[in-house]
Structure 1
Amino acid sequence: FIAAGACVDFDPWDFLDITKRAPINNALPIVDILTLSATGSEMDAGGVISNPQTGDKIGRVAAPMLPKVSFLDPTNTFSVSPYQTACGAADMLSHIFEEYFTTDKDLFMLDCFMEGLMKTIIRYAPIAMREPDNYEARANLMWASSWAINGFIDGGKRQAWSCHPIEHELSAIYDITHGLGLAIITPRWMKYCLNDTTVDRYVQFGVNVFGIDASLEPMVIADKAINMLSEFLFGTLALKSTLPEVGIDRTNFAHMARKAVQGGVLHGFVPLRQTDVEKILEMCME
């Protein structure tokens, strides 16, 4: 946003004001040196910024913000703490989930690619936490970070981003790491969206990523998949699992839910209105 803001003569916050949404037509050349595998900024044209004065946390994507050059050296991530490594893994997984859990069908190649990315993160994040200077683990996480959000897995699908808009409202108000907020929200969102219409996607996820027995009943597989994801996030990665554990209560739920849906509907895997988001946040309390 600094690079884009330097090229205009108006307030750069107008890029993010939903009533203005000023176009981003130009930006100073951006050179990126990756030091944390998580957001994928090294290979995407998006960014997120918070405005403490307004309590907003807003993202924007524009081609001029794509880095001209990115340097990816896994040794630059050796010093990342186990906690931030875990949060980065949760963020990467969420980027993939937002694209994977969709009603679009017949995307076999992209599905396989996304499942491979998920399995890579699940395999290597714990290794990187135990062995911070493990080059293989850091390299695989670094590459997964880039490919999870560089646009390839979009594949022309309808976008299904739901967890990120909800989490942005959490971290706009509270001092919570983005990846941790996503880790807390995602399994609850999955449970909330599970129904007879969506269950097949959970089955594919559970069978192909976690190796669950495909002969089980679909709802059983779906429940096991969500539970196995929760165990990975809160057991293997040792992330906190509820909002009270990170000092967040119900005070701002209605406010956050309203802003997450921007007064309308989040048209994701399952359409979410303000009341739906409030229920998902409530599920995060225990």
Structure 2
Amino acid sequence: MENFRFNAYTEMLFGKGQIEKLPEVLKRYGKNILLAYGGGSIKKNGLYDTIQKLLKDFNIVELSGIEPNPRIETVRRGVELCRKNKVDVILAVGGGSTIDCSKVIGAGYYYAGDAWDLVKNPAKIGEVLPIVTVLTMAATGSEMNRNAVISKMDTNEKLGTGSPKMIPQTSILDPEYLYTLPAIQTAAGCADIMSHIFEQYFNKTTDAFVQDKFAEGLLQTCIKYCPVALKEPKNYEARANIMWASSMALNGLLGSGKAGAWTCHPIEHELSAFYDITHGVGLAILTPSWMRYILSDVTVDKFVNVWHLEQKEDKFALANEAIDATEKFFKACGIPMTLTELGIDKANFEKMAKAAVEHGALEYAYVSLNAEDVYKILEMSL
């Protein structure tokens, strides 16, 4: 295990009714608030009205319409609103897209140049406005980490950036806010959580036993509770466990002491950059293909610890059974499991494969991949 520093300092207010503490949290930073949210679901479920009542003594300026794959144009609009209204703190109400967008807005507020510079070069990120979140979807873990992903659709770029300064100060997690999610968002969110875990679990570092056992437990949490949440949307136990698994999957806990690049995320980012698809859906489609492609004598033992399958002498047969179980799980959750179902063909595979290797440093992944490898994985996913 390599040396590491682990510091998860976000104040997590978890459970029913924690929204009542929002005024107390925000007043630490000032009176001027940017309220950032997405397509308006918070108005349908009553959360918007609750926040307006709680924050009646604050000055609120709104940034609405943040996209599922947040765009740099929206970031720029948010930066302008913050500067014009002398915003003290950003309140991101939504899922990972809203929170990611808010993080880069917070960094862009202090940056003299264009905010896209901060996406392409995280080293340019300096001070960041305080971020407070109210989570309405369990998926990305953005409520407890330093990361953000922003899209620039005119150049087909979807890139990750990050800074410790972008970690939210406080996040409010009420599992009841997940009750009204469409089933596909619940399923895609769980696929995203599981992919975050896979990216850190399938790693060249072999002696991080604690991290691997955390990872296996979180995967089994998703496997147990995603079907329950789909069948019983208001099952608090299921929603609570999925929500907490999301935060734990990408707050640094599982990746501490491990080195190397991720694999499926950089490939999926290219899919989203060209086709603007749901991130978790793209990850679910790619994952079994990637697993089959990299299965070898070196990797086979990593596939056998999660599904509680009957042991076999043939490790490869067992590993393939586990990969099949993963694919069947995603499909049973209602996720389309081929790129063809999304209307995607080979037209851009060559460009996407090249960009995934370039942006994702895939030569340093669990199994090193070049553009030809990525092309084949995409082809297997059709």
Contact kept, 8 Å, 1:115 with 1:209, in 2: the verdict is: yes
Task: Determine helix, strand or coil for the equivalent of 1:32.
Answer: strand
Please show how residues 10-159 of structure 1 align to structure 2 within 5 Å: 10-17=113-120, 21-159=122-260
Instruction: Note if 1:212 corresponds to 2:313.
Output: no
**Structure 1 counterpart of 2:259, which letter?**
R
Report deviation, 1:23. 1.9
Partner of 1:4: 107
Aligned twin of 2:379: 282
Q: Which residue type is aligned with residue 106 of structure 2?
A: A
Amino acid at match of 1:280: I
| Structure 2 residue ranges without an equivalent (≥5) | 1-103
Deviation at 1:160, TM superposition (A): 3.8
Larger Rg: 2
CA contact (8 A) 2:122 2:162 kept: no
Q: How does 1:228-243 map to 2 (within 5 A)?
A: 228-234=325-331, 236-243=332-339
Q: For 1:157, give the aligned amino acid.
A: K
Q: Give the match's secondary structure for 1:157.
A: coil
Kept in 2: contact 1:253–1:281 (CA 8 A) = yes
CA–CA distance in structure 1, aligned partners of residues 333 and 250 of structure 2: 22
Contact 2:188 2:281 in 1 (8 A): yes
Contact 1:16 1:22 survives alignment (8 Å) = no
Percent identity of paired positions between Structure 1 and Structure 2: 49
Q: Gapped runs of 5+ residues in structure 1? A: none
Partners of 1:43 and 1:21 in 2: CA distance: 18
Q: Does residue 189 of the first structure (1) align with residue 290 of the second (2)?
A: yes
Distance 2:368 2:122 in 1: 24
Q: Distance in 2 between matches of 1:63 and 1:213?
A: 43
Q: 1:161 is matched with which residue: 262, 281, 296?
A: 262
Aligned to 1:259: 355
Distance 2:326 2:197 in 1: 13
Question: Given the superposition, is the C-alpha separation of residues 209 and 229 from structure 1 closer, same or farther in structure 2, using an over 3 Å criterion?
Answer: same
Aligned position for 2:271: 170
Q: In structure 1, what is the Cα distance between the partners aligned to 2:203 and 2:159?
A: 23
Is the strand fraction higher in 1 or 2? 2
1:117 and 1:144 in contact (8 A); partners too:
yes
Deviation at 1:21, TM superposition (A): 5.0
SS of the equivalent of 2:346 reads coil
Q: Distance in 1 between matches of 2:327 and 2:368?
A: 23
Q: CA deviation at 1:265?
A: 4.0
The offset of 1:81, in angstroms, is 1.1
Letter in 2 for 1:189: W
Rate the CA distance shift 1:9–1:160 in 2: closer, same or farther, 3 A.
Answer: closer
1:25 and 1:257 map into 2 onto residues whose CA distance is 32
Paired residue type of 1:216 = E
Shift of 1:169: 0.3
Q: Which residue of 2 aligns with 1:225?
A: 322
> Structure 1 counterpart of 2:340, which letter?
P
Equivalent residue in structure 2 for 1:246, among 334, 342, 351? 342
SS at match of 1:258: helix
Query: d(CA) in 1 for partners of 2:167 and 2:122?
Result: 19
Cα RMSD (Å) of the superposition?
A: 1.3
Would the aligned equivalents of 2:362 and 2:370 in 1 still touch at CA under 8 Å? Answer: yes
Q: Encode CA deviations 1:23-42: one digit per residue, 9 max, x unaligned.
A: 21210000011000001111
- Does 1:270 pair with 2:367? yes
Number of residue pairs the alignment of both structures matches: 278
Cα deviation, 1:118-153, whole Å, max 9, x if unaligned, reads: 000000001111111110000000000000000011
> Partner of 2:193: helix, strand, or coil?
helix
Closer, same or farther in 2 for the Cα pair 1:265/1:101, shift >3 Å?
Answer: closer
Separation in structure 2 between the aligned mates of residue 269 and residue 160 of structure 1, nearest angstrom: 7
Looking at structure 1, the residues matched to 151 and 329 of structure 2 have their Cα atoms a distance apart, in angstroms, of 29
After TM superposition, the score normalised by the length of structure 1 is 0.94
Q: 1:86-137 deviations in whole A, cap 9, x for unaligned?
A: 0000000000000001122122221111100000000000111111111000
